[in-house]
């Protein structure tokens, strides 16, 4: 499998796959799939694919900094 790395927010594609999101956040594949199934997480299911809009991911991270 090809390792995905991003150096900046601007390099991210408009929508991220679950594996791209995991790489961007520095979390495991299993952790990423658990996260996209969490209520309130901005994941879209398009057919069989799960994608995450990068702007909504950034908003979600900003809102969840510090934990609840």
Asked if the structure places residue 26 within a domain, the reply is: yes
Asked if the structure places residue 33 within a domain, the reply is: yes
Q: What is the pLDDT of residue 37?
A: 95
Structure-token pair, residue 41: 């997480």
Total count of domains within the chain: 1
Q: Is the pTM of this model over 0.85?
A: no
Cα dihedral: 9, 13, 15, 21 (round 10): -60
Check the CA dihedral 57-62-67-68 and report its sign.
negative
Q: What is the pLDDT of residue 45?
A: 95
Domain that residue 28 falls in: 17-47
Q: What is the pLDDT of residue 67?
A: 60
**What letter does residue 55 receive in the DSSP assignment?**
H
What pLDDT digit, counting tens, does each position of 11-64 carry? 889 999 999 999 999 999 999 999 999 999 999 999 999 999 999 999 999 999
Asked if the structure places residue 66 within a domain, the reply is: no
Asked if the structure places residue 67 within a domain, the reply is: no
């Amino acid at each position: 499998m090809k390792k995905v790395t991003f150096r900046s927010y601007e390099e991210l594609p408009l929508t991220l796959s679950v594996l791209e999101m995991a790489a961007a956040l520095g979390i495991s594949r299993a952790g990423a799939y658990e996260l996209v199934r969490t209520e309130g997480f901005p994941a879209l299911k398009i057919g069989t694919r799960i994608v995450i809009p990068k702007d909504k991911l950034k908003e979600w991270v900003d809102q969840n900094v510090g934990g609840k």
